[in-house]
């Protein structure tokens, strides 16, 4: 089964969307699994703190038969989860595992022995977490507050935070995701750059080889035409042959400039646009009307005349093809800020919005015949050799298309 070039690009576009969809699903699954693991670890820490709170409560109510070693072992095993013990008035009684501001005081474990700065730090952590609400109420609604009874109807409140490990693990999926995205972007641009560099080499090689191959037959035709003139052939015939030989020479010169930096000269947009269309006017159907709506000022810019004329011819020829050899082509020029612009509008079949960028891709064409290289060359000439840009300004199916070229003003 054969597919048209437009269908191939549509399939590529669909393939890209499928790839992006699969990538998005994979990322979502990755985040869901990671978040599930973090939640499971958080639940385990809550269970550990309930056990720790229960051991603290039993130690406070201990009698002579209590296994003190077991309770103390449970309490001492918590060396990772930050914990504060306070009474109902938010007065801190005990603490452990907090990363205090003044690290030289961290070896102290009695709250009253801490520096004022460290005590203020712990008080602020507790009050910020409690938000001024009664600790009795918080112990019933907030899992990070646990109430323990130390004496008959005397309660203390344990406030704990997630361990450093849990906090790091909760951030890890997003950090890993960011790293994956950065690597993917780097790989993507590396592949695009490599592909573009390879295309540039192919373009330059093909263009210069084409110019080289044209050189021999052009020289031969020039010699034959001179022979015909000397033989007394009809001057009208030899003049037309000479025009075609000159045209072939221009084409060869254009191809020879691809792949190397062309020499730019000061030109004026109205003048060169009119000059570019002279060749096309005599070779397109009389049913095609070309309108020139030029700006009153002829704005200057730096151009390579042979290459820019090639651009205009390509765009005009595409417009004629899009109209089926019948319709109106309108050329407009103007200046916007520091950009000289030229627009080519036709009354052809139009371009679907999804293909606004594809039309400049190598091989893309909606025609049954053609290589789909014309607009690719146009884009290369405008952007790489003249520092401008070309794009589809607007298009409507069945009504026509407008291409706009913007170039730096001189």
In a domain, 233, yes or no: yes
Whether 154 has a pLDDT exceeding 70, the answer reads: yes
Same domain flag for 284 and 402: yes
Would you state the pLDDT for residue 370?
55
Whether 369 has a pLDDT exceeding 70, the answer reads: no
Last residue of a domain, one of 143, 162, 181: 162
What is the rounded distance in angstroms from the CA atom of residue 298 to the CA atom of residue 39? Answer: 69
Q: What is the gyration radius of the CA atoms in the chain, in angstroms?
A: 39
Supply 260's token pair: 């190397």
Last residue of a domain, one of 106, 128, 162: 162
Q: What is the mean pLDDT of residues 56-65?
A: 71
Q: What is the mean pLDDT of residues 258-286?
A: 82
Would you state the pLDDT for residue 366?
64
What is the rounded distance in angstroms from the CA atom of residue 54 to the CA atom of residue 74? Answer: 10
Same domain flag for 64 and 153: yes
Cα-based distances in Å from 207 to 150, 248, 258: 90, 14, 6
Same domain flag for 18 and 156: yes
CB-based contacts of 207: which residues, under 8 Å, 6+ apart?
Answer: 255, 256, 257, 258, 259
Would you state the pLDDT for residue 6?
55
Same domain flag for 120 and 197: no
* Structure confidence by residue, pLDDT tens digits, 387-407: 999 999 999 998 999 999 999
> Taking the alpha carbons of 260, 266, 269, 272 in that order, is the dihedral positive or negative?
negative
Same domain flag for 197 and 302: no
Same domain flag for 153 and 225: no
* Structure confidence by residue, pLDDT tens digits, 238-264: 888 888 888 788 778 777 777 667 788
Same domain flag for 152 and 191: no
The answer to whether the CB of 13 falls within 8 A of the CB of 361 is: no
In a domain, 73, yes or no: yes
Instruction: Map tokens 């050899």 to a residue.
Output: 325
The answer to whether the CB of 339 falls within 8 A of the CB of 328 is: no
The CATH number assigned to the domain holding 273 equals 3.30.565.10
Would you state the pLDDT for residue 405?
94
Q: What is the mean pLDDT of residues 57-68?
A: 68
Same domain flag for 108 and 219: no
What is the rounded distance in angstroms from the CA atom of residue 345 to the CA atom of residue 329? Answer: 6
> Could you say which DSSP state residue 2 is in?
-
Residue 145, strand partner residues: 159
Whether 106 has a pLDDT exceeding 60, the answer reads: no
In a domain, 390, yes or no: yes
What is the rounded distance in angstroms from the CA atom of residue 282 to the CA atom of residue 286? Answer: 9
Supply 69's token pair: 């070693």
Element (H, E) at 226: helix 164-230
Same domain flag for 211 and 332: no
Would you state the pLDDT for residue 95?
85
The number of domains in the chain is 3
Of the chain, the percentage scoring pLDDT greater than 90 comes to 11
Tell me the pTM: 0.53
Would you state the pLDDT for residue 380?
86
Average pLDDT, the chain: 82
Would you state the pLDDT for residue 164?
82
Whether 339 has a pLDDT exceeding 70, the answer reads: yes
Q: What is the mean pLDDT of residues 140-149?
A: 86
Whether 330 has a pLDDT exceeding 90, the answer reads: yes
Whether 187 has a pLDDT exceeding 90, the answer reads: no
Which of the four pLDDT bands, split at 50, 70 and 90, describes residue 10? low
Give the rounded distance of the alpha carbon of 83 from its chain centre: 45
The residue among 293 and 80 whose pLDDT is bigger is 293
What is the rounded distance in angstroms from the CA atom of residue 329 to the CA atom of residue 290? Answer: 5
Whether 371 has a pLDDT exceeding 70, the answer reads: no
Would you state the pLDDT for residue 161?
85
In a domain, 2, yes or no: no
Q: What residue spans of 231-268 are helical by DSSP H?
A: 235-257
Same domain flag for 149 and 178: no
Nearest by Cα to 75 from 38, 37, 49: 49
Last residue of a domain, one of 162, 196, 218: 162
* Structure confidence by residue, pLDDT tens digits, 208-222: 777 777 877 888 888
What is the rounded distance in angstroms from the CA atom of residue 256 to the CA atom of residue 25? Answer: 49
Phi then psi dihedrals of residue 380, to 5 deg: -65, -45
In a domain, 345, yes or no: yes
Lowest pLDDT segment from 200-204, 290-294, 363-367: 363-367
Same domain flag for 46 and 154: yes
| Residue 154: domain span | 14-162
Q: What residue spans of 85-163 are helical by DSSP H?
A: 116-130, 135-141
Would you state the pLDDT for residue 196?
76
Same domain flag for 182 and 143: no
């Amino acid at each position: 089964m054969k597919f048209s070039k437009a269908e191939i690009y549509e399939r590529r576009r669909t393939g890209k969307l499928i790839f992006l969809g699969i990538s998005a699903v994979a990322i979502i699954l990755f985040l869901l699994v990671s978040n599930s693991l973090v939640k499971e670890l958080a639940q385990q820490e809550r269970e550990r703190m309930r056990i720790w709170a229960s051991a603290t409560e039993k130690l406070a109510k201990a009698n002579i038969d209590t296994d003190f070693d077991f309770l103390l072992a449970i309490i001492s095993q918590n060396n990772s989860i930050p914990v504060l013990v306070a009474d109902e008035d938010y007065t801190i009684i005990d603490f452990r595992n907090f990363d205090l501001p003044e690290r030289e005081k961290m070896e102290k474990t009695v709250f009253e022995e801490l520096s004022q700065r460290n005590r203020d730090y712990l008080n602020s952590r507790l009050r910020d977490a409690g938000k001024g609400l009664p600790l009795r109420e918080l112990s019933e609604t907030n899992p990070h507050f646990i109430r323990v009874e130390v004496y008959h109807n005397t309660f203390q409140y344990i406030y704990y935070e997630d361990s450093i490990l849990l906090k790091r693990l909760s951030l890890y999926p997003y950090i890993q995701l960011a790293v994956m995205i950065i690597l993917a972007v780097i790989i993507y641009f590396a592949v695009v750059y490599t592909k573009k560099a390879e295309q540039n080499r192919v373009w330059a090689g093909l263009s210069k080889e084409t110019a080289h191959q044209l050189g021999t037959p052009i020289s031969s035709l020039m010699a034959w035409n001179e022979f015909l003139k000397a033989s007394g052939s009809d001057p009208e015939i030899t003049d037309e042959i000479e025009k075609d030989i000159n045209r072939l020479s221009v084409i060869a010169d254009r191809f020879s400039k691809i792949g190397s930096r062309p020499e730019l000269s000061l030109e004026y947009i109205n003048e060169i646009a009119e000059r570019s269309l002279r060749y096309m006017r005599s070779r397109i159907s009389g049913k095609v009307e070309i309108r020139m709506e030029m700006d009153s000022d002829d704005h200057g810019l730096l151009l390579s005349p042979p290459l820019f004329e090639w651009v205009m011819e390509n765009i005009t020829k595409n417009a004629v093809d899009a109209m089926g050899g019948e319709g109106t082509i309108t050329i407009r020029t103007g200046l916007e800020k520091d950009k000289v612009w030229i627009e080519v509008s036709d009354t052809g079949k139009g371009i679907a919005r999804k293909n606004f960028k594809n039309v400049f891709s190598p091989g893309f064409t909606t025609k049954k015949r053609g290589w789909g290289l014309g607009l690719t060359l146009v884009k290369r000439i405008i952007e790489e050799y003249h520092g401008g840009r070309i794009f589809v300004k607007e298009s409507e199916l069945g009504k026509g298309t407008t291409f706009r070229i913007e170039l730096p003003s001189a």
